[in-house]
Amino acid sequence: MSKTARAVYRAIDALDESVDFDEPLRELVRLRASQLNGCAWCVDQHSRDAHEGGEDPRRIHGVAVWRETPFFDARERAALALTEAMTLLPQNGVPDDVYEDAAREFSPEELGNLMGAIIAINAWNRVGVATGMQPPAELPTAVA
């Protein structure tokens, strides 16, 4: 798509770049949306980015089951719940309590940026899934 529909690609990239949001939490949001959308490339990328950014591996793995783990605080849970609601929008919309929890945890500016981050990763996921993007097959070798 970056070669065939450059303006569209640049527009999604511009949206993504415009988001000013807590980077460690943004990676968890990206990861959760990518898991829900089944975007293998993005799950791989954002798992690695979170790890390289210093995120604890247990939290990275725990994002898939965030409701069942003690690893996330109220702010992170509100962000992940909003991510799920906006990603799965056709199923249930965004329940009032999910939005209200997020609005309590984030300032209006932060909430707008969180929503922008969710919109951007969902757009990227749709590109990745539709075009069959796959992560590199080569795994890094472990250092002893």
- Show the 3-state SS of 111-139: HHHHHHHHHHHHHHHHHHHHCCCCCCCCC
Do residues 28 and 42 touch, judged by C-beta distance below 8 A?
Answer: no
Given this model, what pLDDT does residue 113 score? 98
pLDDT in the model for residue 69: 97
pLDDT at 6: 87
- pLDDT tens-digit map of 117-131: 999 999 999 999 999
CA angle 135, 139, 142 (to 5 degrees): 150
Could you tell me the residue ranges of all domains in the chain?
Answer: 6-130
Q: What pLDDT, in 10s, does the model give residues 99-123?
A: 999 999 999 999 999 999 999 999 9
CATH class of 6-130: mainly alpha
Q: Is the pLDDT of residue 140 over 80?
A: no
Smallest Cα–Cα separation from 12: which of 2, 4, 21, 27? 2
3-class DSSP state for residue 87? helix
Q: Please tell me the distance from the alpha carbon of residue 18 to that of residue 143, in angstroms, as a whole number.
A: 37
Is 3's pLDDT higher than 70? no
pLDDT at 143 > cutoff 70: no
What is the reported pLDDT for 139? 77
Tens of pLDDT, residue by residue over 85-96, are 999 998 999 999
The CB density around residue 127, as the number of other CB atoms within 10 Å, is 18
Query: At a CB cut-off of 8 Å and minimum separation 6, what does 118 contact?
Result: 29, 33, 82, 83, 86, 87
pLDDT number for residue 4: 66
Are 94 and 82 a contacting pair, CB within 8 Å? yes
